[in-house]
Amino acid sequence: MDQTTRRLSLPESPREFGFWLDGSYRGGRALFERASPGHGVPVTLIPKCTPEDVNAAVAAARRAFEDRSWAGLSGSDRAGVLQRTADLLRQRAGELAYWETLENGKPIAQARGEINHAISCFEVGAGAARLLHGDSFNSLGDGLFGMVLREPVGVVGLITPWNFPFLILCERVPFILASGCTVVVKPSEMTSATTLILGEILAEAGLPKGIYNVVTGSGRTVGQAMTEHPDIDMLSFTGSTAVGRACVHASADSNLKKLGLELGGKNPIVVFADADLDDAADATAFGISFNTGQCCVSSSRLIVERGIADRFEEMVAEKMKKIRVGDPLDETTQVGAITTDAQNETILGYLEKGTAEGAKVLTGGTALDMGGGSYIAPTLFTGVTPDMSIAREEIFGPVLSSFRFDTVDEAVKLANDTAYGLAGSVWSRNIDTALTVARRVRAGRLWVNCMLAGGPEMPLGGFKQSGWGREAGTYGVEEYTQVKSVHVAFGKRNHWVE
């Protein structure tokens, strides 16, 4: 690192990866060159796997599941591997953050924070492996006893997006492994490096071969082959609602595999006049600008009490103007680059649409020229009406749309006026008001007087078209299990045939 500028350097040449199959790297495939979105410089070379590679990875995961080298261990032995993984992640945190930043474009300081979160996920997963248990029914009379067993669901397919490649991976993998399942992961083709490095780390931590496999490549070939695969028992998909829907069809048309889906969001932040407005303005600017708004739980709709709306919007705009947007490798950067060219085009398209539909830009509204890479200024639209596309559609960028309300009922109605239900935030010093809104907003995660808070102990997932199922914590482990009822009879049978 250059100590005078506190900026990490780019790699001298792109790093070539193999894919991770049955405990080791495999090569020999055509390669996809990934350029750093912050600089436009090639940083990694990633294999373009084939449907045959998916078959090989699923076969390895199936063998490893059936031989009970993992599912047959005690929870405490599985916890040992997960805890050792957490320790090794701590040792390699700098390296993981570096590759995450290079492929994704997020600021290096933020990437380090996400690796810390991933370490917590493995620690919570280790605890959950030991605590996973079933149930019993001692209420069936003296002649019968009931046991409810939780068993691993089997081979899990895991498809992840590019916005939080390592964090989303680690909000799932420790819990999948804690349950005793084996897994085949397909990361986004844009951001595969850290998912592959995790293979090395898990192996060093003592995970038997075949339990964790990674196939890289495009969604259309590798991803689709996984959604249709007859020997994947469960698919956990995180990404767009459109592809989530395709996963449902593929499951229906193949083996009816169990699905976990975490999809899009259009999340409200509701601000009442009696809130600490200084804190609320900071949280509002953070909630939409963090990770350049490429965050499924971004608070992208500001719903503010009419009496304070003009002043509050100004406070948020002032905060947004001060955000340090820039080179992801600079230690002081708060908001980095837009991760993909396609996403950059999408966001710029919404900036145009917002203005064309009659909303007013209070701050931002344009791309930023940093001499390379794709950057967009945090943007606040005011005068937004519920029919506008910037009000209804997930933009997945640093673009906030502001609405106004007069009553609690109206605030809740606006908050729920969306097909999505991933997250929400409410700001009020009145506990009745805050909890009424928290209870009535239909979403999987609510933040009261805070934003994006919490750890992997708490479940995450969506209502409505934001998805099915929950990840993380004990809820997350249970998601990867099947429940089996075992009935045990006592004494002599009462004969049916005399």
Q: Where do contacts with ligand NAD occur on this chain (CB under 6 A)?
A: 159-163, 168, 186, 188-189, 219-220, 223-224, 227, 238-240, 243, 246, 262-265, 296, 394, 396, 422, 462, 467
CB of 156 to ligand NAD, least distance (A): 15
Q: In this complex, which beta carbon is closest to ligand NAD, that of residue 201 or of residue 246?
A: 246
Tell me the C-alpha to C-alpha distance, in Å, between residue 135 and each of 145, 446, 470.
11, 30, 20
d(CA 350, CA 363): 15
245 Cβ neighbours under 8 A, 6+ residues apart: none
Bridge-based pairing of strands 182-186 and 399-405 is unpaired
Could you tell me the two tokens for 167?
Answer: 């964090």
Is 262 annotated as catalytic? yes
Q: In this complex, which beta carbon is closest to ligand NAD, that of residue 270 or of residue 443?
A: 443
Annotated catalytic residue within 262, 305, 394, 471 = 262
CB of 493 to ligand NAD, least distance (A): 51
Q: What are phi and psi of 120, to 5 degrees?
A: -60, -40
Q: In this complex, which beta carbon is closest to ligand NAD, that of residue 286 or of residue 420?
A: 420
150 Cβ neighbours under 8 A, 6+ residues apart: 132, 133, 134, 179, 478, 481, 482, 483, 484
CB of 397 to ligand NAD, least distance (A): 11
d(CA 438, CA 424): 8
Note whether 357 and 389 are within 8 A (CB): yes
Q: In this complex, which beta carbon is closest to ligand NAD, that of residue 188 or of residue 213?
A: 188
CB of 150 to ligand NAD, least distance (A): 24
Please name the residue ranges forming H helices in 67-150. Answer: 75-91, 93-104, 108-131
Residue 381: alpha-carbon gap to chain centroid: 26
Q: State the CB neighbour count (10 A cutoff) for residue 376.
A: 24
DSSP labels, 134-173: -EEE--S-TTEEEEEEEEE--EEEEE--SSSHHHHHHTTH
Note whether 260 and 235 are within 8 A (CB): yes
Tell me the C-alpha to C-alpha distance, in Å, between residue 386 and each of 269, 362, 383, 420.
15, 18, 10, 14
Q: In this complex, which beta carbon is closest to ligand NAD, that of residue 239 or of residue 326?
A: 239
CB of 476 to ligand NAD, least distance (A): 12
Q: In this complex, which beta carbon is closest to ligand NAD, that of residue 242 or of residue 497?
A: 242
CB of 32 to ligand NAD, least distance (A): 11
Instruction: Say how many CA atoms lie within 13 Å of 373 toward its Cβ.
Output: 27
Q: Please report where in the chains the tokens 């897994």 appear, as a residue.
A: 183
CB of 66 to ligand NAD, least distance (A): 26
Q: In this complex, which beta carbon is closest to ligand NAD, that of residue 362 or of residue 460?
A: 460
Which stretch of DSSP H or E encloses residue 487?
strand 481-489
CB of 41 to ligand NAD, least distance (A): 22
Could you tell me the two tokens for 69?
Answer: 């080298």
CB of 76 to ligand NAD, least distance (A): 30
Q: In this complex, which beta carbon is closest to ligand NAD, that of residue 209 or of residue 392?
A: 392
Note whether 190 and 88 are within 8 A (CB): no
Q: In this complex, which beta carbon is closest to ligand NAD, that of residue 123 or of residue 189?
A: 189
Instruction: Say how many CA atoms lie within 13 Å of 350 toward its Cβ.
Output: 26
Nearest to 384 by CA among 358, 362, 363: 358
The catalytic residue positions are: 262
